[in-house]
Amino acid sequence: MLSVGEVARRAGLTTKALRHYDRLGLFAPQVVSADGYRWYAQSQVATAVTIARLRALDVPLEAIRALLAGADEDEARRLLARHRAALQARDDRIRRALHSLDHLLDNERGILMATSDPHPPGGTEDRELARTLFQQTWALLEQESRSSDEDERMIHMAHASRFHWDAVGDDQNRAIGEWQCSRVYATLGRAEPALHHARRCLHYADRPGTDAWLVASAYEGLARAQAVAGDLQAARDSRSRAVALAETVGDVEDRKIVMADIDTLPFG
């Protein structure tokens, strides 16, 4: 029999964590002595190591409980895929915040506007609405869990933002709107509309007057949609084009953002 301290050392956990998992009914010792000491069997170390490995990946305790209870392979994949989507949303949220902060730090006027002027001059109501809908769509994309109603709301807001850019934006705005629509559908696992909007994004991004990074982003979005559709060879080809185009982008920050999106593509 092994003490709680010995199991903690072998598994890379803390004794506090093991006691907490016991109280939750997640991982109980084989024996608790009359004086309250916990004792574990040698065979339990492997389970403790599994818990430590999953917790290092931020897998929620309830998902770990289901996995330890003998979830079949399909259920295990579903649980881990849901957690991956939550991590992806968290990563998107953090990268977006970092990008916004970088722009503020690089622009003294930007800092002043962020702290004193929430409505920059020169914007029309339609432009502000398009921008607001775009940002609210991202807020839902970045949520680590969503209800089915929120999924539907996210779709409608992405399309509404794209609609308003037709009236007040340019081809660059239209391309970004199509990219967001594709990203929403890819996140929801809906291949056909994800592919449609990815191709529409590429259509606008290829037009004169758009920024260099946008074509790279268009191919990143296309690769993501192709992966959802199960066409991994086409997805890898699009990813390669996205990487090649991103490497030619002169602005360092724009290049970093595109490459960060490419790094989140759900295939090797």
Residues 6+ apart with CB under 8 A from 32: 38, 39
Residue with tokens 């069997």: 41
What is the rounded CA–CA span in Å between residue 243 and residue 223? 11
Instruction: Tell me the pTM.
Output: 0.61
Neighbours of 97 (CB within 10 A): 11
Whether residue 55 has pLDDT greater than 70? yes
110: confidence class by pLDDT, cuts 50, 70, 90: low
The DSSP code sequence of 164-220 is HHHHH--HHHHHHHHHHHHHHHHHTT-HHHHHHHHHHHHHHHTSTTS-HHHHHHHHH
Give the domains, in start order, of the chain with CATH numbers. 2-70 (1.10.1660.10), 82-263 (1.25.40.10)
Mean pLDDT over 179-197 rounds to: 96
